[in-house]
Structure 1
Amino acid sequence: MSDTRDAGYPKIELHVHLEGAVSPAALLAAARRNGFALPVATVEQLAEFMRFRDFDHFIEAWFATTPALQTEQDYRELVVDYARRAQAQGAVYLEAIFSPTDKLTEQGIDLETVFTGFTDGVQAAREEVGIEVRLTPDITRGVDLDVAIATAEHAVRYKDRGIVALGLGGLEAQFPPEPYAPAFAIARAGGLGSVPHAGEVAGPASIRGALDTLAPDRIRHGVRAVEDPGLLRELADRGMVLDVCVLSNVRLGVVEAVTAHQLPALLAAGVPCTVNTDDPTFFACDLASEHAAARSLGADPRALFDAGVAGALCDAATKERLRALAVVHDWSGAGA
């Protein structure tokens, strides 16, 4: 584990979409290697094009840029590059998301290429950056069940190379979680965790559906649980860790402003929360700014770290190293 004295306090990030974290420079390089036509020609233009304006533009920009990432080399470098940037802001452990079903159904890239490239990145991040990364591939809502099942089977096959859980992302309001239960059953039977997105765009019913059918270890987002007091109590009683992304929620209109965010209510109810970047390149945020937003809402950095340890799906030895790091760190000035 790396020293974080020059990066504030140590941080655990459990929710970052790697495709949404790609740097414009890396994306431009991949596009040139792969002969992919981007809508603009320079790093500066690409950064501006990818910057969030509204949800429709976000979707347009995502599909106009991220398909430039096509090879094992692209995916490996994506993991390493984000690991290096996150570590510079204090990250000591990451669980990162990638979207293999998009690449299969939209680009025709086989799952073997996608999983090999991203899991090679786990090893490279350990060797080149000195940080532990684990991966949680997302099933994108709307894909056929056979695609979801194939993704779950590949995730299990790559369990010993850094895959720790199966996720569910995409258009939450249009596609409830229940139809994907068979894929999650395969993942659970294969020793993987379950980390679906729920309760971000859609309300408490989305969280309830995930709890009842996908046996989640964490809920990604989950902030709209505050709309159902009974559900909020249940999450607290279960110790269900939520992956909270404050600035992402503001950008996407889940809340109107940081000051209106549900994080204080979640913490007051006893729900453990982590703080994460989601899609930092598109949302013009980073781990430091997300934590600054959370602290402005009264979040305690040590409690955020402890929630990260509780929610992390890594092996016991890695968890123990994270706990030991928290014990020796001086947290006295972390909330400043």
Structure 2
Amino acid sequence: MTVVAPYPKIELHVHLEGAVSPELLLAAARRNGFTLPVATAAELREFMRFRDFDHFIESWFATTPALQTERDYRELVLDYARRAQARGAVYLEAIFSPTDKLTAGIAMETVFEGFCDGAAAAREQLGLEVRLTPDITRGVDLDVAKQTARLAVAYKDRGVVALGLGGAEAQFPPEPYAEAFAIARAGGVGSVPHAGEVAGPASIRGALETLAPDRIRHGVRAVEDPGLLRELADRGMVLDVCVLSNVCLGVVPRAEDHPLPRLLAAGVPVTVNTDDPTFFACELDDEHAAARSLGADPRALFDAGVAGALCEPAVRERLRALGDAHDWDGSSRPSVTS
């Protein structure tokens, strides 16, 4: 029995390394001579499933380093694009972390090449537009951060649309990365930092004041500061919200406690996203179901995705037309085929 995705979805926040399927990971490990902690896809799926934050870090570093070559990165993009499309995705902006591979001796150019090839393959084979947003991992040398920004600019004609900032938000505030983001901005590349997930409103304010963001990834802790919440609404600043991820990582204890309703009530535009779907055992339709249970309207989520997407105008117009043509009133209940 297959649940048919009842409405089109735009996803703007998914870490591709965190979306890798166990089957793809096993194949890459065999090709690259990398030893995984378990031997089968079923065992790997269970090993990677989130238990607590320490286990998440342990399983991430025990598995994702198997991805080492341009082929691995290309196949990763195509595999996730296929899965997301089956759940209604019509446009993706996906994250990858080139600075994480440096300690393994993998050149950032190799990482960019593979992921950009994957975005092209998704368009050619699936008809799905995928854009890319490489993350600077907080804590890297600032020269590495600036080199990441230069590479983002160099690959902007191959699907890179923005520079991100991820990693240990509470330990590394956004301000030191201002120069890297200025390089990206000068080269025509957008800004999509993580902020306001683990750290509070000060992290969001720091990003707003120093990184000139086009969107904020997460941003949910803005509800702790009414003035900041009003500012985000007044700016029309789109937040990439990940409800089930926030539960897994302890940002909120339960989905029912998520601040999404307060963000919506304040007029802040939000999108709904998977973050790390393999590790958090969720797919795009699961995240949408959680958001809808909190009062999110699918059409408003789609419109926020159109507003927040950093694609070229022609793609944005196609997305807007798709949203206008869809029967949103008839999409509240998923249909089922057998």
TM-score normalised by length of structure 1: 0.98
The CA distance in 2 between the partners of 1:67 and 1:210, in whole Å, is: 29
Q: What does residue 108 of structure 2 align with?
A: 111
Q: How does 1:28-67 map to 2 (within 5 A)?
A: 28-67=26-65
Kept after mapping to 2: 8 A contact 1:300/1:335: no
- Name the aligned partner's letter for residue 324 of structure 1: A
Q: In the alignment, which of 149, 153, 176 is matched to residue 152 of structure 1?
A: 149
Q: What does residue 83 of structure 1 align with?
A: 81
Report deviation, 1:335.
Answer: 3.3
- Name the aligned partner's letter for residue 44 of structure 1: A
Q: Is 1:141 the equivalent of 2:132?
A: no
Question: The residue matched to 1:167 in structure 2 has which SS?
Answer: strand
- Which blocks of at least 5 consecutive residues in structure 1 are unaligned? none
CA deviation digits over 1:267-295, x for unaligned, max 9? 00000000000000000000000000000
- Name the aligned partner's letter for residue 262 of structure 2: A
Q: In the alignment, which of 178, 194, 199 is matched to residue 202 of structure 1?
A: 199
The CA distance in 1 between the partners of 2:151 and 2:230, in whole Å, is: 35
The CA distance in 2 between the partners of 1:142 and 1:334, in whole Å, is: 44
Q: How does 1:85-100 map to 2 (within 5 A)?
A: 85-100=83-98
Per chain length, whose mean CA-contact separation is higher, i.e. which structure has more relative contact order (CA < 8 Å, sep 6+)?
2
Q: What does residue 17 of structure 1 align with?
A: 15
Q: Is 1:192 the equivalent of 2:164?
A: no
Q: What does residue 226 of structure 2 align with?
A: 229
The CA distance in 2 between the partners of 1:147 and 1:278, in whole Å, is: 24
Report deviation, 1:112.
Answer: 1.0
Kept after mapping to 2: 8 A contact 1:52/1:251: yes
What is the root-mean-square deviation of aligned Cα atoms in Å? 0.8
Report deviation, 1:77.
Answer: 0.4
Question: The residue matched to 1:270 in structure 2 has which SS?
Answer: coil
- Name the aligned partner's letter for residue 154 of structure 2: R
Report deviation, 1:134.
Answer: 0.0
Report deviation, 1:333.
Answer: 3.0
Q: In the alignment, which of 214, 219, 224 is matched to residue 217 of structure 1?
A: 214
Question: The residue matched to 2:164 in structure 1 has which SS?
Answer: strand
Kept after mapping to 2: 8 A contact 1:119/1:162: yes
Kept after mapping to 1: 8 A contact 2:6/2:332: no
The CA distance in 2 between the partners of 1:333 and 1:64, in whole Å, is: 44
Q: What does residue 336 of structure 2 align with?
A: none
Question: The residue matched to 2:90 in structure 1 has which SS?
Answer: strand
Kept after mapping to 2: 8 A contact 1:98/1:136: yes
Kept after mapping to 1: 8 A contact 2:119/2:129: yes
Q: In the alignment, which of 237, 249, 261 is matched to residue 264 of structure 1?
A: 261
The CA distance in 2 between the partners of 1:111 and 1:201, in whole Å, is: 27
Q: In the alignment, which of 124, 128, 141 is matched to residue 121 of structure 2?
A: 124
Q: Judge which range, 168-177 or 5-14, deviates more.
A: 5-14
The CA distance in 2 between the partners of 1:334 and 1:212, in whole Å, is: 39
Report deviation, 1:130.
Answer: 1.1
Report deviation, 1:8.
Answer: 1.1
Q: Is 1:284 the equivalent of 2:281?
A: yes
- Which blocks of at least 5 consecutive residues in structure 2 are unaligned? 334-338
CA deviation digits over 1:149-205, x for unaligned, max 9? 110000100000000000000000000000010000000000000000000000000
Kept after mapping to 2: 8 A contact 1:250/1:257: yes
The CA distance in 2 between the partners of 1:334 and 1:192, in whole Å, is: 35
Corresponding residue pairs, total: 331
Identity of aligned residues (%): 82
